[in-house]
Amino acid sequence: MGYNTKALKNRIRSVNSTLHLTRAMGLVASSKMRRANESMNSGRQYAAAFGSVMDLLTACPDCIHSPYMRPTEGKRVCLVVIAGDRGLAGGYNANVFRLTESMPREKVIPIGKRACDRYHGEFASSERYTGAQASELARELCRAFLAGEYDRVGIVSTRYVSMMTQEAQLTWLLPLERTEGRENATVDAVFEPDETSILNTAVPDYVAGVLMRCIRESFACEVAARRMAMDSAGKNAQTMIDNLQIKYNRARQGAITQEITEIVAGSGS
């Protein structure tokens, strides 16, 4: 019995340190949550503001001839895959990779350490991705698209539904598509120099905006997912400790009872 109680005690101690770890990671995630949410919202606003102007432009009859709106049948797809820098975030990274694997893809541009490890890309942090990096990547994507290296460019990221729910999603960046129901919309605005030139010049900035929105949103998802995962891991660890503690108490009591029985039996004889 002596050995058994010792092993149980060690086990309890190790689970306890895991519990501390999950708690600490949960707290870190909680403290990052607010900032991540704020930057997600500013990214969303920027992309939405840009998107509404792009809707106007793509609805113009002339813009159908823009090289960014060429219809595509080809299968050469370039995907920007946005995952986290770290693991231990529940199914966050796995969901992104599963969606990526299900898509036909010729080239993958990974963002986030996990994605870079998996797709052997140049390292880019998803937490500290800057607007300048996004602009550079956007320009490169637009150049490659115009040069005909890819037929479609998309982003695999995670959509933030709520603290509890996040889902992997695929957003098509290029070619631009005309928003339904806007075909006959007329705008009483002056375009300088003209709709098509504005569209062609603005696309890289628009792509950078959408990239940034997806990265920020994915980061908020990562933090939320980690908080949830750490929460449930902490709960599980606590249940485990409780069960082990009961086992330990029983073993200890058993050992004492046995000792007493032995002493009583010894004195009786």
Partner 1 sequence: MNTFQLNISSPDGKLFSGEAAELILRGAEGDLAVLAGHVPFITTVKPGEVRVILPDGSTRVGHARSGLLTVAHEGVTLLGDFSWD
Residues in contact with partner 1 by CB under 8 A are 39, 42-43, 45-46, 49-50, 53, 56-57, 130-132, 134-135, 187-193, 197-198, 201-202, 204-205, 208-209, 211-212
Least distance in angstroms from the C-beta of 19 to partner 1: 37
Least distance in angstroms from the C-beta of 34 to partner 1: 15
Measure the CA–CA gap between 166 and 222, rounded to whole angstroms: 9
Measure the CA–CA gap between 168 and 93, rounded to whole angstroms: 9
**Closer CB to partner 1, residue 135 or residue 169?**
135
**Closer CB to partner 1, residue 45 or residue 102?**
45
Least distance in angstroms from the C-beta of 12 to partner 1: 47
Half-sphere exposure of 179 (CA within 13 A, CB side): 13
**Closer CB to partner 1, residue 142 or residue 251?**
142
Least distance in angstroms from the C-beta of 216 to partner 1: 9
**Closer CB to partner 1, residue 91 or residue 131?**
131
Measure the CA–CA gap between 112 and 129, rounded to whole angstroms: 9
Q: Sign of the C-alpha dihedral, residues 45, 49, 52, 58?
A: negative
In the block, which residue shows the tokens 């006959």? Answer: 184
Find the radius of gyration of the CA atoms of the chain: 28
Under a CB-based contact definition with an 8 Å cutoff, are residues 221 and 92 in contact? yes
Which tokens belong to 48? Answer: 């939405």
**Closer CB to partner 1, residue 16 or residue 39?**
39
Least distance in angstroms from the C-beta of 206 to partner 1: 8
What backbone phi and psi angles, to 5 degrees, belong to 171?
A: -115, 125
Under a CB-based contact definition with an 8 Å cutoff, are residues 59 and 183 in contact? yes
**Closer CB to partner 1, residue 57 or residue 168?**
57
Under a CB-based contact definition with an 8 Å cutoff, are residues 78 and 90 in contact? no
What is residue 172's DSSP assignment?
Answer: E
Least distance in angstroms from the C-beta of 84 to partner 1: 20
**Closer CB to partner 1, residue 97 or residue 191?**
191
Least distance in angstroms from the C-beta of 240 to partner 1: 43
**Integer CA distances (angstroms), 210 to 48, 91, 112, 178, 231, in order:** 9, 24, 17, 16, 31
Which tokens belong to 243? Answer: 């069960």
